[in-house]
């Protein structure tokens, strides 16, 4: 490629990648000047809404030109991308790097986790600051920042957990939204006695999110049922990983998903369901979507790349390695979730990457409720979605880009800075080799964890080059991650994609009172004896014969030979201040046994 001045530039050819030992984490990146100007030439640019054969010119970390026959200055480094796709860097909406959890820490930290992300074509993660119950949300946010900022190799954002509720929590949500670049808050409906919120706390959190223009997220499982089921299973001697899925079957996830949708809708708050694992929960989301509820659904790589049959593997370690919450579901689920990703009932894919080594999982060797929950995914998400989605003919490359990157950028209000190959967007780009294959294995992956739930899977789709803020961080499959190079990306509230219709919607759905003349009839006295005529009126509505075959007695009272029951279970004496002592035990249709009917 000749630059303007005819000088032949350094040319890199995207070949089938190979994985070699990563550079030490503090390795210096190549010559900065060469990094400053980059041309990706000969590839096919894929955005969520279109594909085009085009070159991409990058300078100072920003995409400056997209098109053909571009004029580029001297000193430009060229990546030959012929036969490759040029896609927006993946955005993983759901990770937990070095999470303190269930008595230990997730083994992939913000360095190993983000280095692995880059290796697989993900250039941004969204992690969670999760305060302990009673802890300040703002302090938790700063603690996560202190962990991540020095280590991340790629850009990141934070969601913040609302793991308890008080007015102070509401005030801190406001501070985080207005001052710290947080626009999404996650409420847990599971993890009873630690992070679980009850319905009134969920309503308060959702109302606050609505006021702030933030997105409410939920972990949707019914924690009370899980606690009861776990107790029962353990009492039956079922202590293995199979008990994990048995304790929280699909309907336990679907119930919480539905409840969250109703609660959020009742306060007009947009809702994001994290980590949809079951087809039942996914169909609940689809039903609410088609009722006009503002709800988005995220699934994860493991949910479409593997399944819950592994809970029953005779090897305890293998089974425990698949324990995550909500759990992996039956083998028919991956196909269903992929279809729903394609048609739009589900919109994003994360990983819930929360990794624990075999010895950490063994904390639950005698009790499945003590197995640290979580699996890998951050490194393999893009290839798994490409293999199970595009290669399987279940989505096209544009939809792949949508569900792995663009939709997340739109929902979390960082579009088109992220999630698009366009002039002005960050140069977070993957030169994607759709034909190359690799075999996923813990023996070769970059992650720190000693297990991979996709072990042995051969996948098409390899990130030959990954560019992160304009710097080549993966070159022919060799990761050149630089710890601390990634940046925190603030997410502002009032995402147009999420809140764009809220004002008109609230106006259209606003309740209105009925204008009517005031009631001017008699009014009974509270808790006093009902005036006799009122009793007669309330007991024997003149217009209704629903309870009686004959009129009142001469004294105007109730004829006790008549049945006072109605099929609805209502009793004619329901309306009088206190019931007569006489109770009829033989309703129409026979003697009651145990209950009324
Ligand atoms: O539940 C989550 O999302 C976090 C706490 C980790 N646990 C898990 O099962 N992934
Ligand atoms: Zn999670």
Ligand 1: which residue has its CA nearest to atom 2? 325
* Predicted pLDDT at 589: 43
| HEC profile of 270-304 | CEEECCCCCHHHHHHHHHHHHCCCCEEEEEEHHHH
Mutate to test the pocket of ligand 1, among 96, 130, 162, 351 (most ligand atoms within 8 A of CB): 96
Higher pLDDT, 583 or 413: 413
Q: Residues near ligand 1 with C-beta < 6 Å?
A: 96, 101, 219, 324-325, 352, 354, 373-374
Distance from residue 94's CA to the centre of ligand 2 (Å): 6
- Looking at the chain, the whole-number percentage of residues with pLDDT higher than 90 is 80
* Predicted pLDDT at 9: 45
- The minimum-distance atom of ligand 1 relative to the CA of 352 is 10
- The minimum-distance atom of ligand 1 relative to the CA of 373 is 9
What is the mean pLDDT of the segment spanning 100-127? 98
Q: Which ligand is nearest to the CA of 99?
A: 1
Mutate to test the pocket of ligand 1, among 194, 197, 275, 375 (most ligand atoms within 8 A of CB): 275
Is 580's pLDDT higher than 50? no
pLDDT digit string (tens) for 155-210?
999 999 999 999 999 999 999 999 999 999 999 999 999 999 999 999 999 999 99
Is 211's pLDDT higher than 70? yes
Is 582's pLDDT higher than 70? no
What is the mean pLDDT of the segment spanning 536-555? 50
pLDDT digit string (tens) for 44-78?
999 999 999 999 999 999 999 999 999 999 999 99
Distance from residue 182's CA to the centre of ligand 1 (Å): 20
Distance from residue 325's CA to the centre of ligand 1 (Å): 6
pLDDT digit string (tens) for 226-282?
999 999 999 999 999 999 999 999 999 999 999 999 999 999 999 999 999 999 999
Distance from residue 379's CA to the centre of ligand 2 (Å): 16
CA 7 – CA 462 distance, rounded (Å):
31
* Predicted pLDDT at 593: 43
Across the beta sheet with 44-46, what order do the strands follow? Answer: 51-53, 44-46, 85-88, 429-439, 458-468, 471-475, 478-479
Q: Which ligand is nearest to the CA of 106?
A: 1
Q: Residue 224, exposed/middle/buried by CB under 10 A (0-12, 13-18, 19+)?
A: middle
Distance from residue 179's CA to the centre of ligand 1 (Å): 27
Distance from residue 274's CA to the centre of ligand 2 (Å): 8
Q: Which of 193-207, 352-366, 502-516, 542-556 has the lowest mean pLDDT?
A: 542-556
Q: Which ligand is nearest to the CA of 373?
A: 1
Place of tokens 């019914």: 222
Distance from residue 94's CA to the centre of ligand 1 (Å): 10
Instruction: Tell me the angle at which helices 250-266 and 223-235 cross, rounded to the nearest 10 degrees.
Output: 160
- The minimum-distance atom of ligand 1 relative to the CA of 101 is 5
Mutate to test the pocket of ligand 1, among 219, 363, 373 (most ligand atoms within 8 A of CB): 373
- Put residue 27 in one of left, alpha, beta given phi > 0 → left and psi -120 to 50 → alpha: beta
What is the mean pLDDT of the segment spanning 424-430? 98
Mutate to test the pocket of ligand 1, among 101, 103, 276 (most ligand atoms within 8 A of CB): 101
* Predicted pLDDT at 309: 98
- The minimum-distance atom of ligand 1 relative to the CA of 323 is 9
pLDDT digit string (tens) for 121-137?
999 999 999 999 999 99
Nearest to residue 365, comparing CAs of 233, 240, 243?
240
Distance from residue 96's CA to the centre of ligand 2 (Å): 6
Whether 79 contacts 39, CB under 8 Å: yes
* Predicted pLDDT at 568: 40
* Predicted pLDDT at 11: 62
Is 23's pLDDT higher than 70? no
Distance from residue 372's CA to the centre of ligand 1 (Å): 9
Q: Which ligand is nearest to the CA of 128?
A: 2
Place of tokens 């759901």: 94
Residue 532: pLDDT band with limits 50, 70, 90: confident
């Amino acid at each position: 490629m000749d630059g303007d001045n005819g000088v032949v530039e350094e040319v890199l050819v995207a070949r089938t990648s190979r994985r070699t030992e990563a550079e030490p984490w503090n390795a210096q990146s190549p010559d900065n000047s060469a990094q400053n100007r980059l041309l990706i030439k000969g590839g096919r640019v894929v955005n969520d809404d279109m594909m085009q054969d085009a070159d991409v010119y990058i300078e100072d970390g920003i995409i400056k030109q997209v098109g053909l026959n571009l004029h580029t200055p001297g000193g430009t480094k060229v990546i030959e991308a012929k036969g490759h796709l040029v896609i927006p860097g993946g955005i993983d909406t759901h990770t937990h790097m070095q999470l303190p959890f269930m008595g230990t820490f997730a083994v992939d930290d913000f360095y190993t986790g983000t280095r692995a992300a880059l290796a697989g074509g993900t250039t941004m993660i969204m992690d969670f600051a999760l305060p302990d119950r009673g802890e300040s949300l703002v302090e938790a946010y700063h603690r996560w920042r202190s962990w991540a900022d020095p280590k991340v190799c790629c850009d990141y954002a934070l969601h913040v957990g609302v793991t308890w509720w008080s007015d102070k929590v509401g005030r801190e949500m406001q501070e985080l939204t207005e001052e710290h670049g947080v626009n999404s808050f996650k409420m847990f409906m599971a993890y009873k006695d630690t992070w679980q919120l009850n319905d009134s706390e969920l309503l308060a959190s959702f109302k606050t999110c609505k006021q702030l223009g933030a997105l409410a997220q939920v972990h949707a499982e019914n924690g009370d049922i899980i606690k009861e089921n776990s107790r029962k299973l353990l009492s039956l001697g079922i202590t293995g990983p199979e008990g994990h899925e048995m304790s929280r079957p699909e309907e336990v996830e679907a119930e919480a998903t539905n409840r969250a949708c109703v609660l959020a809708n009742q306060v007009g708050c947009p809702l994001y369901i994290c980590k949809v694992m079951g087809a039942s929960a996914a169909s609940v989301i689809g039903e609410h979507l088609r009722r006009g509820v503002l709800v988005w659904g995220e699934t994860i790589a493991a949910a479409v790349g593997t399944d819950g049959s592994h809970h029953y593997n005779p090897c305890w370690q293998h089974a425990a390695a698949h324990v995550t919450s909500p759990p992996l579901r039956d083998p028919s689920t991956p196909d269903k979730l992929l279809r729903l990703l394609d048609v739009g009932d589900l919109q994003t894919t994360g990983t819930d990457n929360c990794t624990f080594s075999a010895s950490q999982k063994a904390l639950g060797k005698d009790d499945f409720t003590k197995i640290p929950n979580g699996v890998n995914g951050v490194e393999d998400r893009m290839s798994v979605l490409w293999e199970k989605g595009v290669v399987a003919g279940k989505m096209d490359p544009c939809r792949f880009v949508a569900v792995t990157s663009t939709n997340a950028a739109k929902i979390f209000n960082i579009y088109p800075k992220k999630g698009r190959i366009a002039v002005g967007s960050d140069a977070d780009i993957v030169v994607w080799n759709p034909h190359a294959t690799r075999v996923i294995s813990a023996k070769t992956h970059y992650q720190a964890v000693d297990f991979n739930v996709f072990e042995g899977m051969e996948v098409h789709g390899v990130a030959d080059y990954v560019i992160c803020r304009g710097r080549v961080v993966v070159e022919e499959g060799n990761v050149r991650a630089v710890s601390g190079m990634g940046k925190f990306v603030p997410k502002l509230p009032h995402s147009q994609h999420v809140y764009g219709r809220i004002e008109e919607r609230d106006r259209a759905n606003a309740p209105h009172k009925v204008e009517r003349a005031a009631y001017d009839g008699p009014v009974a006295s509270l808790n006093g004896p009902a005036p006799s005529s009122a009793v007669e009126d309330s007991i024997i509505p003149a217009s209704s014969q629903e309870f009686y075959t004959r009129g009142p007695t001469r004294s105007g009272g109730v004829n006790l030979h008549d049945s006072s029951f109605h099929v609805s279970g209502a009793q004619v004496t329901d309306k009088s201040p206190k019931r007569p002592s006489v109770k009829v035990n033989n309703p129409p249709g026979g003697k009651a046994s145990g209950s009324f009917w």
